Amino acid sequence: MIAPILQYIDVVKSYGEGELQTRALTDVSLTINAGEFIAIMGPSGCGKSTLLHLAGGLEDATAGRVLVNGADISTMSGAEKAKLRRQEVGYIFQKLNLIPSLTAIENVMLPLELDRVSKSEARERARVVISDLGLTHNLNRYPSEFSGGQQQRIAIARSLVANRSLLLADEPTGALDTVNADEIIEILAQLPKKYNTSVVLVTHEPRFASWADRVVFLRDGRIISETQSSAVVEG
């Protein structure tokens, strides 16, 4: 039996209080297994990003439990959540993924350095991962000197460098052209097989969702359906 890497159990997430309270997620239960590639789709404001934020402890659930590798995030301290993001859960966002004052390789090295890995080892491991993703030259340049696609590859490399088991990608292709977007999705799709990393991809694009093993549809904070990706393409 494959162990679940991420589990949402009856999760509720609300913002605000009293009459102004807004439900972002309502009774969401979802299990993602190790090495699985899941796509989450739905209209704007349906709670897709919130679902990802809860998985890395960026936000806390109002009710229910979120388990990463069996550990309940709601019981974790701030430092433990940070450690979780450093070692288990990686994020890729649509934009502003890289720290502009650090070079490409320094951005990738950063999680390792924060984990007190030696500088030389961090540099070597970063170089290997970046190379795997097809970037080999000019790694000492700053993010602004790279194209959007290259910047996302660097961000993916940073997520992979610490051997994280879960990668959460929040519309990573939103700011990219078609060619670059396809390349990024292809890279993400290869990660489960290549690194045994589970990937959760939030996207509006059925075309990208078709790369996933499963597609979860959200509406108004609830999971309304869960299908195999082929169904999305056919649909």
Partner 1 sequence: MSLASRIAVREVRKRKGRTALVAVLVALPLVAILMMSTYLKTTNLSSEQQFAREFGTATASFDGFGYLPSDKQTMIREVITRNLGDNVGMETYTSWWRPLLLDSTSVNEQKRGKYIRIEERTSDPQIRKSVVSLIGGHWATRSNEVAISESLAKTWKLKVGENLTLEMPRLSLKVVGLVRTHYQLKDNVIFSSANSGLEVANIRTNASLLVQSDTPITAQKLHEITQVEQKILASDGDLEALIAGARLPGSNLAVALPAVSWLAVLTVIAFAVMSIVISAAFATSARRQLTTVGQLSANGASASLIQRALALQGAWSGLVGILLATVVTVVLLTFSRSQMESLAGYSIPALRLPTTEYVLASVIAIFASVGAAWLPSRTAAQTSVLNALAGRRGEAPVRRSLLPAGLLLFGSGVGLEFLVALGVQNSEGQSSPFLVAGSIGGLLILAGVCCMGPVIVSLFHFIGEKSSGEGRLMARGLSRNRSRSSAVVVSIATFTGLGIAVAMGASSREVLYDNSYIPRNVVEVSSSKCSETYGGLPFECTPRRADGEFEDAVKKVLQANGNVKQVSLDYAVANGVDPDFFASDFGKVEGELLTENILIANPTILEILQMSKRDLKEFNDVGIVFAIDPELKRIYDPTNVQGDFNTLSVPLAQGIFQYPMHQLQDDAQSWGRWRILMTEKRAKEGGFTIFKDSARLFIGEKNLSESQLVQLSFLRSIAAESQPVVYDDQGALPRPGTDFAYSDVMPPISQNSVHAFIAGSLLVLVLLIVAIGLSLMASEGKDERDILLAIGAAPTTMSKLAGLRALWLSAVGIAIAIPVAVIPMVVVLKAGADPGTDPVDVPWSLFALLGGVPLVAYIAARTTSAIVQIVRPIHVSNAQFE
Task: Give residues in contact with partner 1 (CB under 8 A).
Answer: 49, 53, 56, 58-59, 78-79, 82-87, 89-91, 93, 96-102, 106, 109-111, 113-114, 116, 119, 122, 144, 158-159, 170
Residue 162 to residue 150: CA distance in whole angstroms: 19
Shorter beta-carbon distance to partner 1: residue 112 or 232: 112
Q: How far is the CB of 140 from partner 1 (least distance, A)?
A: 9
Minimum CB separation from partner 1 for residue 230, in Å? 30
Q: In whole angstroms, give the CA distance from residue 207 to residue 37.
A: 14
Rounded to a whole number of angstroms, the minimum distance from the CB of residue 43 to partner 1 is 14
Q: Which is nearer to partner 1, 2 or 79 (CB)?
A: 79
- The least CB distance from residue 80 to partner 1, in Å, is 9
Q: In what order do the strands lie in the sheet with 22-33?
A: 22-33, 4-15, 63-68, 71-72
Whose Cβ is closer to partner 1: residue 32's or residue 55's?
Answer: 55
Nearer to partner 1, 8 or 214 (CB): 8
How is 164-226 classified by DSSP, letter by letter? -SEEEEESTTTTS-HHHHHHHHHHHHHHHHHH--EEEEE-S-HHHHTTSSEEEEEETTEEEEE
Nearer to partner 1, 89 or 212 (CB): 89
Q: How far is the CB of 64 from partner 1 (least distance, A)?
A: 19
For partner 1, the closer of residues 171 and 232 by Cβ is 171
Tell me the closest approach of the beta carbon of residue 171 to partner 1, in angstroms: 10
Which residue blocks in 10-74 are alpha helix, DSSP H? 48-55
In whole angstroms, how close is the CB of 182 to partner 1 at the nearest point?
Answer: 23
Buried b (16+ CB within 10 A) or exposed e, 44-57: eebbbbbbbbbbbb
Q: With residue 14 as reference, give the H or E element that holds it.
A: strand 4-15
181 CB-contact burial (10 Å; exposed 0-12 / middle 13-18 / buried 19+): buried
- Report the length, in residues, of the chain: 235
CA–CA gap between residue 191 and residue 200 (Å, rounded): 11
Cβ closest to partner 1, residue 110 vs residue 176:
110
